[in-house]
Structure 1
Amino acid sequence: MSLRHLKPLRVAVAALCLTVLTLAFLGAHLPHPLISLFASLQFVPTLIALATGSLALGAIIILVVTLTAGRIYCSAICPLGILQDAIARITSLFRRKPFFLRYAPAWTKVRHLFFWTTLLTIPLGGAGLAIAWLDPYSTFGRTVSLLIRPLIRFAHNAIVPHAEKAHVTGLYHLDIALAALPLLLGVGAVFLLIVVMASLRGRLYCNTLCPVGTLLGFIASRSWLRLKINADACGKCGECLKSCKAQCIDLKAGTVDASRCVSCYNCLAACDQGAMRLATNWTVSRTTKPSDATQPPDSGRRQFLLTATGGALVTGATLLPDISRADDHEKKHGDGHGKKRKYKNVVTPPIAGDTDTFLAHCTACQLCISSCTTGVLQPAFLQYGPQHLLKPRMDYSKAFCNYTCHRCTEICPTGAIPFLPVPQKQITRIGMAHFNKENCIVSVYHTDCGACSEHCPTKAVHMVPYEGGLVIPEVDKSLCIGCGACEFACPADDKAILVHGAPKEKLARRPSEEKPTAPTVNKDGFPF
């Protein structure tokens, strides 16, 4: 295959990745194996899953591919990187004059600053905040889920009345759930920064602010295959410069900065003289010039490569103690019903472990929130604390957890929400319902209600005799799983039944399945 074909192949793979992940974060009902496949190829989520004992090969595959052929992940798999290419292409259409990027030196100090800031926050307890806001996959997910998805739904809802007038069926009003204003402003500011940097400098964000780009860049600087310039064939026409989105081709020196090159292969397709080539880097070929073979290594770069690689190992090593500490949470913070109980008023998605374990795994990518069939999963503001912004929580004022759905457990790439088959999910307790008789419609207005009992899928909430021949709700805590159907259905202004999080017991009793009894037949042969 000609090297010129590498660019269209890369574009095809990138378009597929961007399309699937964009649709997933928009809430499209794609097959969950398809979503899981592309989510499992994202570096940070699979690195976290791997560091905490899950069989996640995505991070290992990315590291091996990067060490072999450079930053292919950044150009063909990372959705945020692909989005930047799309932004740069779209903004170029609005320029009156042709515009292309020239070679620019690397912002090495800025790269080091953001990389080490991210790395050092992990042992200091800020891993969740740093990883969530700087992981490119999670940044892309938040942008699509929290910004683009509501805009699309606003536009859709604006079209619905006109479609009804034109007798077009199949369109209906969609609910729009907006995150807290500070969260929207934060996500919007990050996205605006990315748009500006991509429009003016291509992949500058990837090569300065993104810690994943920095780590993979320094691994790629020692990759086996890399782009090189054949000085004998190069005519200095500059076509490669016009196509380079990373500003890493230095024609004067005749070199390509492999640490910033994202392996998009645009230069291979643009070079008509055949000067751009893929060459091996670990052995000195016979055609290599002596000056290239004897060039002294950059000791600073080599040292940083070693420390960065060691830093990646530290990342995994420091995550493991966090998980261990989370596993001992019940021993350190009481019995789960006292004042020491954490996250009392926050209900997590269906998880088999405790809340601290869930928060240690989660990168706030919003995939579960976008895929939630009822919309009960919403991004947290300060409910978990400022270090866990945007991580999913149950909001029973908007909806409830569907008893027969386990969508969020199927697609989580980090294992923060572990896979639970439907029968197991149906007895996994994420909260506990608490009934306040003083707020109940039956008690306040002395009239029938029972909405909470009617909606309870396990019949943990059932009706018992009350004054004046009425019946009033009662909670069987052994059956309650905290799905929130009762709280969502309660018509009282001040909810008479609320679901609290962080329950002590994580498994509920499975409700008995009573077989319907045959109706009795009277002497005339009629069952009524």
Structure 2
Amino acid sequence: MLRKIRIGVSLVIFLLLTFYLVDFAGILPDSFHVLAHIQFIPALLALHVGVLLFLLLLTLITGRSYCSSICPLGVFQDIIIWISRKRNKKKQYGYRRALNHWRLGILVAVIVAGLSGFTVLVSLLDPYSAYGRIAVDIFKPVYLAVNNFLTWIFTMFGNYTFYYMDIVVTSILALVVAFVTFMTVGYLAYRYGRIYCNTVCPVGSLLGILSKYSLFKVCIDTSKCNGCGLCARKCKASCIDSKKHMIDYSRCVVCFDCIDNCRQGAVSYTLRKRRKTPEVSQSSGSTDVSKRTFITTLAAVALTIPKSAVSQSIGTLTGNKPYKRKHPLSPPGSVSTKRFNQHCTACHLCVSKCPSHVLKPSLLEYGVGGILQPIMSFENGFCNYDCTLCSDICPNKAILPLTKEAKHLTQVGRVVFIEENCIVHTDNTNCGACAEHCPTQAVTMVPYRDGLTIPKIDPEICVGCGGCEYVCPVRPYRAIHIEGNPVQLEAKPIRVDKKDETTIDDFGF
């Protein structure tokens, strides 16, 4: 019964969180972002005291229930383990000693990296963020492909329930990292059960320390046990030494598989009994090749990332005046790039949910420590003037909540105009698209020559939404673009022309 309840709770949380991450149509309401807020590292970075206390108390009472039911990467591994058991019904695990030098070393490295602001290591090893990237960068394109296929089928019969969606890869690097994570974690789970959780995952290691003192534990009644060893062979955490009747509670994820498989009723989940179930010694054994391979692969991904962005030489060949953005644009509400880099774990929830497709994973715009963290890019859209969704759903408080009124005055960057690139200057033709799409009148058209008008900018009232940059027809280097603010400022209020009382509503935003 306990196992069935655990599986039911796990699947509900896992499926809802996964669908929320890939849901492009907004079927689930935004309130479902609470499923991301109850994850351990996001709650820690956001200082959600209530969530942290809940998770810590849950661990001290029940053991590592977080790892078995709440953590999406843990449930993902359980699904892979279930598939492996279906393919090989005789699959067995057996007891393995804990590799505590790996566990402690990785945990300390993640803590030091987090405190020093080098959050890329935290991002790569945070189980929620790792799964978020898998869902957004792998599962979502597949989901969109299935949607487009159904659209084609239904349209043939005159049914327009579905509609086509563009399948866009926001970042090759993010896709590669997500794929490597998917394959590595999936392979380890398929072959060795919960070895990733008990060797690599920093959350598993930390909660494992607490779970040794949990109130309820899986216990072996030696008076009933016949020494068959079935519980150990079915333990995907490989933490039961049936010969010595010992359980390593720091690795037990309270999946209850042992209880469900024990034919003698010798295994139960009850109050802690120290004498009957002594804890396994935490001595380290021989190094597992698969674990070493995972660490080596992860380090290789981090160290082989390109050290420079794309060359600026294209503009020279086309006649455009090239430019390079000096400062990246972090999402509205992130306060500053420095603060944003220290709190964001690149779970890509905001990337997936952004209705304007403005956010994409970064490469080296933030530096090595900010790899994969969201950055504002205006290739596929611009930031909606009234939208505050990313600040509403961010589980880490890397993006602080903003009201619409506060968003209207949050300046993430300033407009920059390059007259030499403007088609009004180069082709002697009218345009004005940038001014039409500016919600704050930071870009206006003024007389130029031969009856033409050309953009004039007022950076003080610009909020950096990127509407002007998005619609500018000049390529590859636009005539107008947004330069990011290292620290987000407060833009000056929009001036109202007393003659015609022009307001923000007149621009259709």
Fold shared, TM-score > 0.5 on shorter chain = yes
Structure 1 stretch 18-27 or stretch 178-187: which is displaced more? 178-187
> Does the residue aligned with 2:489 lie in a helix, a strand or coil?
coil
The residue correspondences of 1:273-422 to structure 2 (distance < 5 A) are: 273-281=264-272, 288=275, 344-351=326-333, 353-422=335-404
> Does the residue aligned with 2:355 lie in a helix, a strand or coil?
coil
* 1:119 partner letter: I
Give the structure 1 partner of residue 91 of structure 2. Answer: 99
Structure 1 stretch 179-188 or stretch 388-397: which is displaced more? 179-188
Aligned partners of 1:84, 1:131: CA distance in 2, in Å? Answer: 20
Q: CA deviation at 1:82?
A: 0.4
Give the structure 1 partner of residue 63 of structure 2. Answer: 70
| Residue 31 of structure 1, aligned match among 29, 32, 40 | 29
> Would the aligned equivalents of 1:74 and 1:81 in 2 still touch at CA under 8 Å?
yes
> Would the aligned equivalents of 2:225 and 2:266 in 1 still touch at CA under 8 Å?
yes
Give the fraction of aligned pairs with identical amino acids, expressed as a percent: 37
* 1:354 partner letter: S
Residues 101-160 of structure 1: per-residue CA shift (max 9 Å, x gap): 22222222322232233233345x363011001110110001111122123323433554
| Residue 39 of structure 2, aligned match among 37, 42, 64 | 42
> Would the aligned equivalents of 1:142 and 1:366 in 2 still touch at CA under 8 Å?
yes
Matched, 1:271 2:262: yes
| Residue 469 of structure 2, aligned match among 487, 491, 510 | 487
Give the structure 2 partner of residue 19 of structure 1. Answer: 15
Give the structure 2 partner of residue 203 of structure 1. Answer: 194
Aligned partners of 1:504, 1:45: CA distance in 2, in Å? Answer: 23
> Does the residue aligned with 1:15 lie in a helix, a strand or coil?
helix
The residue correspondences of 1:72-87 to structure 2 (distance < 5 A) are: 72-87=65-80
> Would the aligned equivalents of 1:351 and 1:358 in 2 still touch at CA under 8 Å?
no
> Would the aligned equivalents of 2:330 and 2:336 in 1 still touch at CA under 8 Å?
no
Against the structure 1 CA distance between its residues 299 and 178, is the aligned structure 2 distance closer, same or farther, given a 3 Å change threshold? closer
The residue correspondences of 1:431-450 to structure 2 (distance < 5 A) are: 431-450=413-432
The residue correspondences of 1:431-470 to structure 2 (distance < 5 A) are: 431-470=413-452
Against the structure 1 CA distance between its residues 299 and 484, is the aligned structure 2 distance closer, same or farther, given a 3 Å change threshold? closer
Aligned partners of 2:114, 2:140: CA distance in 1, in Å? Answer: 31
Matched, 1:253 2:244: yes
* 2:32 partner letter: L
Aligned partners of 1:502, 1:171: CA distance in 2, in Å? Answer: 40
The residue correspondences of 1:178-257 to structure 2 (distance < 5 A) are: 178-257=169-248
| Residue 127 of structure 2, aligned match among 114, 136, 140 | 136
> Would the aligned equivalents of 1:429 and 1:503 in 2 still touch at CA under 8 Å?
no
> Would the aligned equivalents of 1:343 and 1:384 in 2 still touch at CA under 8 Å?
no
Give the structure 1 partner of residue 6 of structure 2. Answer: 10
Give the structure 2 partner of residue 500 of structure 1. Answer: 483
Against the structure 1 CA distance between its residues 505 and 189, is the aligned structure 2 distance closer, same or farther, given a 3 Å change threshold? closer
> Does the residue aligned with 1:129 lie in a helix, a strand or coil?
helix
> Does the residue aligned with 1:502 lie in a helix, a strand or coil?
strand
* 2:220 partner letter: I
> Does the residue aligned with 1:83 lie in a helix, a strand or coil?
helix
Q: Where does the alignment leave 5 or more consecutive residues of structure 2 unmatched?
A: 285-323, 502-509
Residues 251-304 of structure 1: per-residue CA shift (max 9 Å, x gap): 1111221111001222233334331123333x76xxx56xx6xx7996989xxx
Structure 1 stretch 13-22 or stretch 130-139: which is displaced more? 13-22
Against the structure 1 CA distance between its residues 225 and 81, is the aligned structure 2 distance closer, same or farther, given a 3 Å change threshold? same
Residues 175-232 of structure 1: per-residue CA shift (max 9 Å, x gap): 2332443442233222211011110111111001111111111211122221110011
> Would the aligned equivalents of 1:344 and 1:502 in 2 still touch at CA under 8 Å?
no
Q: CA deviation at 1:244?
A: 2.3
* 1:474 partner letter: K
Q: CA deviation at 1:246?
A: 0.9
> Would the aligned equivalents of 1:41 and 1:58 in 2 still touch at CA under 8 Å?
yes
Structure 1 stretch 380-389 or stretch 262-271: which is displaced more? 262-271
Aligned partners of 2:387, 2:217: CA distance in 1, in Å? Answer: 47
Q: CA deviation at 1:482?
A: 0.2
Against the structure 1 CA distance between its residues 205 and 218, is the aligned structure 2 distance closer, same or farther, given a 3 Å change threshold? same
Give the structure 2 partner of residue 308 of structure 1. Answer: none
> Would the aligned equivalents of 1:248 and 1:260 in 2 still touch at CA under 8 Å?
yes
Q: Where does the alignment leave 5 or more consecutive residues of structure 1 unmatched?
A: 302-341, 519-528
Give the structure 1 partner of residue 290 of structure 2. Answer: none
TM-score (norm 2): 0.84
* 1:378 partner letter: K
Aligned partners of 2:117, 2:181: CA distance in 1, in Å? Answer: 19
> Would the aligned equivalents of 1:458 and 1:479 in 2 still touch at CA under 8 Å?
yes
Residues 26-62 of structure 1: per-residue CA shift (max 9 Å, x gap): 1442222221x21121111111122xxxx44222221
> Would the aligned equivalents of 2:73 and 2:131 in 1 still touch at CA under 8 Å?
yes
Aligned partners of 1:57, 1:202: CA distance in 2, in Å? Answer: 32
Against the structure 1 CA distance between its residues 202 and 479, is the aligned structure 2 distance closer, same or farther, given a 3 Å change threshold? same
Aligned residues: 459
Aligned partners of 1:204, 1:497: CA distance in 2, in Å? Answer: 52
Residues 376-397 of structure 1: per-residue CA shift (max 9 Å, x gap): 1000011111221110001111
> Does the residue aligned with 2:195 lie in a helix, a strand or coil?
coil
Aligned partners of 2:196, 2:221: CA distance in 1, in Å? Answer: 29
Give the structure 1 partner of residue 453 of structure 2. Answer: 471
Q: Calculate the aligned-residue CA RMSD, in Å.
A: 2.6
